[in-house]
Structure 1
């Protein structure tokens, strides 16, 4: 088959049953009683999952490399190995009460693409790679999206290797303990990057669409907020003379919700953690600490939400300290690759819609160093980071077929476009 014979390649389809079976086999490693998966980064269970991926990759003729932060790259040669690879991937580490599909689908969909090309004796011009990124979830080690972050230069290798879990085990030692302390440079040039993923939200299902064409990932600003009032006896202290920190906190929580609604459709505002002191039944709360998570699709909106939050805190009636602890800039994806995802879905006869990612993904960091795009498929009831996380086999197959076609388009582009 000719490398550039795209009409013929357009008829290729993945093996949906094989993809599903691989997902179910991987899900047995760290399986939980409720049907989920607990496979934390750089544990022995993670090692088993990594070993299985590498065995599958070698079975289909891939060469495998592990870098210094433990990222795994399975490479299928092209006819022009001087061209930059077209890459796909995700992660196989999970939350403590994680599901079968978050991350795992992106990795195994990539492997299924390569398997399908082997089945049909198709050789792309550019080489193809499937990446398994280290510690995307951040459940055991912080920062989240560690492997892709080091790859993209968001933080240094030494910083990542020095991070420790709650038991004091460093990333460096954990990698060595499972035999995945690779060598050599982390980063290499990438011609294009695609990531297939379950949506982890309810939008596709609510709109009865199979494919989400991801335009961008929301930017994020996280804050630690402390409200200082005065503890006092709940009985003798008149209402008008109280300095109730929890009352102010309640107003701020409602304000965070109002700020998000005022910046629809992509504004998000969440207070996910609250600590009340002294937390006693008959004592007026004297101090409240809470977290605020603001998200938006563009920096101008995110900054407007930041100003609104700070103004609300200044007018709260009690001293309020606001510390910003995380900032992720909004990340648009490469327009030409986004268009390729949309066109591939259309050519396959699949319903689709434009969507934004409310969560962070490895693709967010890859987009800093290479053209990148994402493909979403629905998950049942929008539930993820939960043992009952579920997805339909036909939707997973559909997303994988879109991934196949988008990767073929990128890998068989002219040298000027692909390299």
Structure 2
């Protein structure tokens, strides 16, 4: 239940908004792009650089930092009773190939600002407090996304993830060893009491409604597919149109079908083809093979299933009509997530006590919190991003919104520290 706006805050602590903004701008140099964005792909040297910075900064605030067998980082601030599992915060430091300065890292650095506030005040919580960086949230180099929070939650096996390869054939486990972040603790054996994740909305709703805080109640369901369409390479000048087996032409119709199916399952369904490779990719050769990805989502798992069924029928028919073959492999299935009601209430109360305009919202994108919710009480906090733009170098938020989100995170963590004391 939302508390009255004049209800006393859990504490009189506040984050240092300027320090948080400085951290956001400082870490943007790791993988900085000419257009002002960030290219910091998982397990690259840029990823190592920001991880090293994270470790050093957390240690300067009195935390101990460890990492598990998947490279997930845990910065731990001791509590009054260190036998208790920690109250945790987190997100990710990796980015898209043309990412912005705030996606993911706001949650990590917002959590860092919470640790800084506790450190400067000398406030000791009952539980230890931990800040987590999850490895490979984006899935842009190694698919699927959220792989290592997925291992943590038992969705994927450690062995399978270590064998994953990027599009260049480079093995995940080898790259984890190269940057020196494979730990001894088996992934998933790190106990949690509760988990909170701060993130930019990555959509336009909060900005359009002039809301500062999104109280995230859950995450919509999503499925990803890899599609290979095979036709026949042929000379562009001498092969008559009726005799062609054009893989790219068929793929173009399939891509249109993805959009049509999503529109037919309105109002909330979405469908995207975001990666496409054409072979042999020569100007005077009829394309013989095309590879592309499909991403479909909706808050209702039944709608996602119906979209899949409709889409697969259409893709097969297009292949038959075009004289090509099609292979579809599902690489990710993430059912809709409903966050813990007590943790959601803590976020809502924290927003009200800070007098921040807020609304409840369902997340369109997936997040590590979706997998963590399988093993611990979990909630998320959103702040607006300009024009709803994300996964883009022009991604932008305001300093005031970053500070507000971090303050709500701080208060939610302190509420959880009190609540779970009473319930244990």
- TM norm. shorter chain > 0.5: yes
1:390 corresponds in structure 2 to 396
Decide whether aligned partners of structure 1 residues 166 and 352 sit closer, same or farther in structure 2, where only a CA change above 3 A counts. same
Cα distance in 2 between the residues matched to 1:224 and 1:168: 16
Q: Does 1:94 align with 2:95?
A: yes
Cα deviation 1:23-80 (Å, max 9, x = unaligned):
1111122222221222222233222211211111111111211212211111112222
Q: Offset of 1:167 from its aligned partner?
A: 5.3
1:358 corresponds in structure 2 to 364
1:189 corresponds in structure 2 to 191
- Contact kept, 8 Å, 1:271 with 1:290, in 2: the verdict is yes
1:40 corresponds in structure 2 to 41
Decide whether aligned partners of structure 1 residues 55 and 246 sit closer, same or farther in structure 2, where only a CA change above 3 A counts. closer
Q: Offset of 1:254 from its aligned partner?
A: 4.2
Cα distance in 2 between the residues matched to 1:308 and 1:193: 37
Q: Offset of 1:289 from its aligned partner?
A: 5.9
2:117 corresponds in structure 1 to 116
Cα deviation 1:196-226 (Å, max 9, x = unaligned):
1112222222222211222222221233456
Cα distance in 1 between the residues matched to 2:228 and 2:169: 28
1:3 corresponds in structure 2 to none
SS at match of 1:374: strand
- Contact kept, 8 Å, 2:9 with 2:353, in 1: the verdict is no
Between stretches 225-234 and 358-367, larger displacement belongs to: 225-234
Cα deviation 1:377-411 (Å, max 9, x = unaligned):
11122222222221110000011111111111111
2:30 corresponds in structure 1 to 29
Cα distance in 2 between the residues matched to 1:310 and 1:365: 27
2:79 corresponds in structure 1 to 78
Between stretches 98-107 and 119-128, larger displacement belongs to: 119-128
SS at match of 1:80: coil
Q: Does 1:179 align with 2:168?
A: no
Q: Offset of 1:310 from its aligned partner?
A: 3.1
- Contact kept, 8 Å, 2:277 with 2:290, in 1: the verdict is yes
2:295 to 293, 296, 299: 293
- Contact kept, 8 Å, 1:151 with 1:186, in 2: the verdict is yes
2:4 corresponds in structure 1 to none
Cα deviation 1:264-305 (Å, max 9, x = unaligned):
332111233556788898999887765432111121111121
1:199 corresponds in structure 2 to 201
1:12 corresponds in structure 2 to 13
- Contact kept, 8 Å, 1:141 with 1:165, in 2: the verdict is yes
1:308 to 272, 289, 310: 310
Q: Does 1:256 align with 2:262?
A: no
Between stretches 79-88 and 132-141, larger displacement belongs to: 132-141
Decide whether aligned partners of structure 1 residues 293 and 181 sit closer, same or farther in structure 2, where only a CA change above 3 A counts. closer
- Contact kept, 8 Å, 2:347 with 2:408, in 1: the verdict is yes
Cα distance in 2 between the residues matched to 1:282 and 1:222: 32
Cα distance in 2 between the residues matched to 1:170 and 1:277: 24
1:170 corresponds in structure 2 to 171
Extract unaligned runs of 5+ from structure 2.
1-6
SS at match of 1:150: helix
Kindly tell me the number of residue pairs found equivalent between the two proteins. 412
2:50 corresponds in structure 1 to 49
Cα distance in 2 between the residues matched to 1:288 and 1:183: 41
2:380 to 374, 386, 397: 374
1:336 corresponds in structure 2 to 342
Q: Does 1:415 align with 2:424?
A: no
2:328 corresponds in structure 1 to 323
Query: What is the CA RMSD across the aligned residues, in angstroms?
Result: 3.1
Decide whether aligned partners of structure 1 residues 189 and 24 sit closer, same or farther in structure 2, where only a CA change above 3 A counts. same
Decide whether aligned partners of structure 1 residues 74 and 352 sit closer, same or farther in structure 2, where only a CA change above 3 A counts. same
TM-score normalised by structure 1 residue count: 0.86
Cα deviation 1:222-271 (Å, max 9, x = unaligned):
334566789899999799x9988777656554443333233333211123
TM-score normalised by structure 2 residue count: 0.85
Cα distance in 1 between the residues matched to 2:169 and 2:280: 30
